[in-house]
């Protein structure tokens, strides 16, 4: 992929982001509900479940003229791009998982200073 094509996809993604977030909003609501209902889970499995939901809602697939579609809609409606859509969902879930783990890391600055006696 050339730098020009990558720039075109990045530009198309920024322009189409409000549309894409609208289609992903049910997935964000589901992820928020799961986050609230799984308070007793450990951090990593909880983050994985939430990341799968958010990643599924956010994963893009690019069509003709860099038009962006949510990958879950492509998986439901078309068979031609199903491998690309599944790969997009997997990569997006992994990235979201890393971000959720980073955002939910324990805050060690709030702990009292421990000194050796």
For the chain, the domains span: 23-103
Q: For the full predicted model, state whether its pTM sits above 0.85.
A: no
Q: Are 38 and 79 in contact (CB under 8 A)?
A: no
In the predicted model, what is the mean pLDDT of the chain? 86
Say what the pLDDT of residue 65 is. 66
Burial 30-55 (b: 16+ CB within 10 A, else e): ebeebbeeeeeeeeeebbbbbbbbbb
Model confidence at 58: pLDDT above 70: yes
- For residues 22 and 6, what is the distance between their CA atoms, to the nearest angstrom? 24
Mean pLDDT of 30-52: 94
Confidence of residue 110 (pLDDT cuts 50, 70, 90): low
Which distant-in-sequence residues (6+ apart) come within 8 Å of 84 by Cβ? Answer: 61, 74
Query: Given this model, what pLDDT does residue 31 score?
Result: 95
In the numeric block, the tokens 């038009």 are attached to: 67
pLDDT tier at 117, thresholds 50, 70, 90: low
């Amino acid at each position: 992929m050339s730098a020009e094509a990558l720039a075109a996809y990045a530009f198309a993604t920024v322009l189409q982001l409000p549309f894409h977030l609208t289609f992903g909003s049910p997935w964000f609501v589901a992820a928020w509900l799961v986050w609230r209902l799984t308070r007793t889970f450990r951090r990593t499995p909880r983050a994985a479940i939430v990341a799968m939901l958010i990643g599924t809602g956010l994963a893009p697939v690019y069509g003709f003229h860099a038009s962006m579609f949510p990958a879950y809609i492509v998986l439901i409606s078309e068979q031609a791009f199903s491998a690309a859509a599944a790969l997009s969902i997997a990569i997006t879930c992994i990235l979201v998982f890393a971000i959720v783990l980073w955002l939910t890391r324990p805050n060690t600055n709030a702990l009292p200073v421990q000194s050796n006696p």
